[in-house]
């Protein structure tokens, strides 16, 4: 039986493989489809990438749609305020206005709106906001009135870069506001408060640089002002090591330009302390400053510490400083450029007994010491201040010494200035007068208000007679003008002799009218010694006086115009 015919398959896999260069011995580059697994992988990867691209485009469109829906659901003023241009090329007024608008809109916004604003505009740009001159106020406003979660996020982001941001003026202000709010509400920001306190309580080289930095030391001053209990005690213990103590590191705060501000802050907070240990540390620092006052008063920045004790220190510290140290060192201290400022403050804030003792035991004890102080370029200022606060008897002695030196030609330019000042203010106490006048002004405010009310009532009652007087004066002025016009028209036709006669006649008329005005002058203002001063007159009397003066001026002006017209 014959075998059946089997057709030949031209698309057989074996034949297909024979066509490939790898199977046929060809040197052509193999194609991607040489391996069926590679082609399958390529197709699946291509479709997956296409699907991912479509998903990304869809997500982007979805986010844009959500953003539009969110913007439409909030107040237009809120979104406009936070999308306003804050570029540096704008003017200061425009940037300030935009910043205030943001703060106002945020403060008046609801909690949902605050979340939207923070997440959309601020969350990803906190560092730049804190460094910006105008936008850092928004962070302060969020810390003050925003939700605790936003406040904590801001404080955490700033703390992560605290060594960089604490030396920036605007970021340091944000830290101060955050520290103030955290101390008031510690339960909302426990972790953040602990981080900041641990940083402030460090005692290393970086903190020493912060103590004397122009900007960073403000956070130390703020901490001294608002911290309490053990937190303040730890900080004071660290600072006390570097304030007039024998430390081996040669680091001193009292003589530094910005470190002295920390010492002044300790003097300020001393009366507010109730803890025994904290008060003891503050007292030790102040006493050390008093004991070293002879050196501090002659230093460029440390002299402000002594001035601070005189102005705002406790009475115990003032008396210790003035009675035991400054009075003995007054002459040499006054001759110094910076010490003379301390000498002036000592004269102002010490009592009259101390000033009398200073005058008798130090200044006027010898002519040579007085001459040295008066003629010195720096000491002449404390001497002028001393003259203002001396009593009249001591002032007479002061003037006598000056006249003696002046007679002997022993006063230089500075001494001449002191002499002119003493002569001009011989019977005047400028600073005491200012104090008395301020107290009198406070007491007289209520009396002035009552007096104004009474004057208004009296004016309302006396208004009809005043109107009659005004009408009579207007009629009198019209008559005078008509008379002068008639005389001018007549005198234009006269010759020279007639002109002279007319001028004489006009002068007689002017004198008669002036005598009439003098008889009509208010009796309250005469030329004798018993006149009533103008400021003491009532408002009605002042108005009468002004009207009389105006009439006299109008009469004189009319006569001058007449003479000028005739000369032409």
Collapsed DSSP state (helix, strand, coil) of residue 508: helix
**Pairwise CA distance, residues 149 & 420, whole Å:** 68
DSSP string for residues in 411-446: --HHHHHHHHHHHHTTT--HHHHHHHHHHHHHHHHH
| pLDDT tens by residue, the chain, 568 residues | 455 555 544 444 444 444 444 444 545 455 544 555 555 555 566 656 666 666 667 677 666 555 544 444 556 778 788 888 778 778 888 888 889 999 998 988 888 888 988 998 899 999 999 999 999 999 999 999 999 999 999 999 999 999 999 999 999 999 999 999 999 999 999 999 999 999 999 999 999 999 999 999 999 999 999 999 999 999 999 999 999 987 777 889 999 999 999 999 999 999 988 889 999 999 999 999 999 999 999 999 999 999 999 999 999 999 999 999 999 899 999 999 999 999 999 999 998 999 999 999 888 888 888 999 999 999 999 999 999 998 888 999 999 999 999 889 899 999 999 999 988 887 766 555 555 566 566 666 656 655 565 555 555 454 455 555 566 666 666 666 666 566 555 544 444 555 556 656 666 666 666 566 555 554 444 444 344 444 455 666 666 666 666 666 666 666 556 555 555 4
**Pairwise CA distance, residues 418 & 424, whole Å:** 10
104 and 153 fall within a common domain: yes
Two tokens, residue 95:
């940037």
250 and 300 fall within a common domain: yes
- Contact 257/213 with Cβ under 8 angstroms? no
216 and 95 fall within a common domain: no
- Contact 271/314 with Cβ under 8 angstroms? yes
DSSP string for residues in 518-567: HHHS-TTS-SSTTPPPGGGS-HHHHHHHHHHHHHHHHHHHHHHHHHHHHH
Two tokens, residue 283:
């007292």
Question: In this predicted structure, what is the pLDDT of residue 240?
Answer: 93
- Contacts of residue 30, Cβ cutoff 8 Å, sequence gap at least 6: 20, 21, 22
Query: For residue 372, which of 425, 345, 329, 411 has the smallest C-alpha distance?
Result: 411
356 and 311 fall within a common domain: no
339 and 376 fall within a common domain: no
Query: For residue 459, which of 373, 352, 543, 342 has the smallest C-alpha distance?
Result: 543
**Quick one: DSSP state of residue 350?**
S
299 and 168 fall within a common domain: no
Question: In this predicted structure, what is the pLDDT of residue 78?
Answer: 80
Task: Single out the residue in 378, 413, 440 at which a domain terminates.
Answer: 440
Number of domains in the chain: 3
Distance linking the first and last C-alpha atoms of the chain: 165
Q: What is the CATH number of the domain that holds 165?
A: 1.25.10.10
Q: Find the DSSP H helices in 313-429.
A: 315-321, 330-334, 339-349, 352-358, 367-374, 380-389, 392-407, 413-424
Kindly state whether residue 11 falls inside one of the protein's structural domains.
no
Question: In this predicted structure, what is the pLDDT of residue 33?
Answer: 47
**Pairwise CA distance, residues 102 & 132, whole Å:** 14
Query: For residue 480, which of 539, 531, 544, 555 has the smallest C-alpha distance?
Result: 555
335 and 282 fall within a common domain: yes
Q: Find the DSSP H helices in 258-302.
A: 259-269, 276-291, 293-296
90 and 133 fall within a common domain: yes
* Strand (E) or helix (H) holding 87: none
- Contact 221/266 with Cβ under 8 angstroms? no
The parent domain of residue 326 ranges over: 204-350
Kindly state whether residue 156 falls inside one of the protein's structural domains.
yes
509-517's contacts with Cβ under 8 Å and 24+ in sequence apart are 510/555, 510/559, 513/480, 513/555, 514/552, 514/555, 517/548, 517/551, 517/552, 517/555
Kindly state whether residue 554 falls inside one of the protein's structural domains.
no
Give the CB-side neighbour count of residue 546, counting CA atoms within 13 A: 9
Task: Single out the residue in 423, 440, 457 at which a domain terminates.
Answer: 440
Kindly state whether residue 109 falls inside one of the protein's structural domains.
yes
The structure tokens 């400022």 sit at 341
252 and 275 fall within a common domain: yes
User: Of all residues in the chain, what percent are helix, strand and coil, respectively (each to 5)?
Assistant: 75, 0, 25
- Contact 174/130 with Cβ under 8 angstroms? yes
**Pairwise CA distance, residues 558 & 481, whole Å:** 8
Kindly state whether residue 425 falls inside one of the protein's structural domains.
yes
383 and 428 fall within a common domain: yes
Task: Single out the residue in 293, 323, 350 at which a domain terminates.
Answer: 350
**Pairwise CA distance, residues 126 & 160, whole Å:** 12
- Contact 101/66 with Cβ under 8 angstroms? no
Query: For residue 148, which of 113, 192, 104 has the smallest C-alpha distance?
Result: 192
How many of the other CB atoms lie within 10 Å of CB of 486? 10
85 and 129 fall within a common domain: yes
Two tokens, residue 232:
């303040």
- Contacts of residue 99, Cβ cutoff 8 Å, sequence gap at least 6: 86, 134, 135, 137, 138
- Contact 555/517 with Cβ under 8 angstroms? yes
95 and 127 fall within a common domain: yes
Kindly state whether residue 320 falls inside one of the protein's structural domains.
yes
pTM of the full predicted structure? 0.63
Kindly state whether residue 521 falls inside one of the protein's structural domains.
no
**Pairwise CA distance, residues 316 & 504, whole Å:** 82
Question: In this predicted structure, what is the pLDDT of residue 443?
Answer: 62
């Amino acid at each position: 039986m014959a075998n059946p015919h089997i057709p030949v398959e031209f698309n057989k896999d074996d034949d297909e493989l024979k066509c490939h260069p790898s199977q046929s011995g060809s040197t052509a580059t193999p194609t991607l489809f040489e391996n069926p697994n590679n082609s399958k992988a390529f197709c699946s990867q291509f479709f997956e990438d296409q699907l991912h691209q479509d998903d990304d485009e869809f997500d982007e469109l979805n986010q844009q749609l959500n953003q539009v829906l969110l913007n439409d659901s909030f107040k237009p003023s809120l979104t406009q305020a936070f999308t306003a241009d804050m570029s540096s090329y704008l003017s200061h007024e425009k940037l300030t206005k935009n910043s205030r608008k943001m703060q106002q809109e945020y403060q008046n916004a609801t909690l949902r709106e605050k979340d939207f604003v923070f997440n959309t505009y601020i969350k990803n740009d906190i560092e730049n906001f804190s460094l910006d001159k105008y936008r850092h106020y928004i962070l302060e406003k969020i810390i003050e009135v925003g939700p605790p979660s936003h406040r904590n996020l801001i404080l955490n982001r700033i703390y992560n870069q605290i060594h960089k941001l604490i030396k920036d003026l605007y970021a340091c202000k944000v830290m101060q506001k955050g520290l103030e709010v955290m101390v008031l509400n510690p339960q909302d920001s426990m972790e953040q408060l602990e981080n900041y306190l641990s940083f402030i309580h460090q005692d290393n080289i970086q903190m020493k640089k912060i103590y004397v930095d122009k900007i960073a030391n403000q956070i130390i001053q703020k901490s001294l002002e608002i911290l309490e209990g053990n937190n303040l005690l730890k900080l004071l213990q660290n600072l006390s090591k570097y304030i007039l103590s024998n430390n081996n590191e040669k680091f001193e705060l009292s003589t530094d330009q910005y470190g002295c501000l920390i010492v002044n802050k300790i003097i300020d907070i001393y009366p507010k302390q109730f803890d025994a240990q904290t008060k003891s540390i503050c007292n030790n620092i102040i006493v050390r400053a008093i004991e070293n006052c002879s050196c501090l008063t002659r230093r460029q920045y440390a002299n402000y510490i002594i001035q601070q004790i005189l102005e705002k220190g406790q009475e115990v510290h003032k008396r210790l400083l003035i009675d035991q140290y400054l009075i003995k060192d007054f002459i040499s201290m006054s001759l110094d450029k910076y010490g003379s400022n301390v000498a002036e403050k000592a004269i102002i804030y010490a009592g009259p007994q101390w000033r009398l003792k200073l005058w008798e035991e130090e200044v006027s004890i010898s002519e040579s010491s007085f001459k040295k102080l008066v003629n010195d370029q720096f000491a002449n200022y404390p001497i002028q201040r001393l003259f203002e606060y001396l009593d009249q008897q001591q002032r007479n002695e002061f003037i006598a010494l000056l006249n003696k030196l002046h007679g002997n030609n022993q006063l230089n330019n500075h001494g001449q200035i002191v002499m002119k000042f003493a002569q001009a203010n011989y019977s005047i106490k400028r600073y005491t007068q200012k104090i008395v006048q301020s107290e009198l002004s406070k007491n007289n405010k209520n009396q002035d208000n009552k007096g104004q009310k009474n004057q208004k009532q009296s004016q309302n009652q006396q208004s009809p007679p005043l109107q009659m007087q005004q009408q009579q004066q207007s009629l009198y002025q019209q008559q005078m003008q008509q008379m002068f016009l008639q005389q001018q028209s007549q005198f234009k036709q006269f010759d020279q002799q007639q002109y002279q006669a007319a001028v004489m006649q006009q002068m007689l008329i002017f004198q008669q009218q002036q005598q009439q005005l003098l008889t009509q002058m208010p009796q309250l203002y005469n030329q004798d010694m018993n006149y009533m001063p103008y400021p003491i007159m009532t408002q009605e009397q002042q108005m009468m006086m002004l009207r009389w003066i105006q009439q006299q001026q109008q009469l004189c002006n009319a006569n001058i115009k007449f003479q000028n017209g005739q000369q032409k």
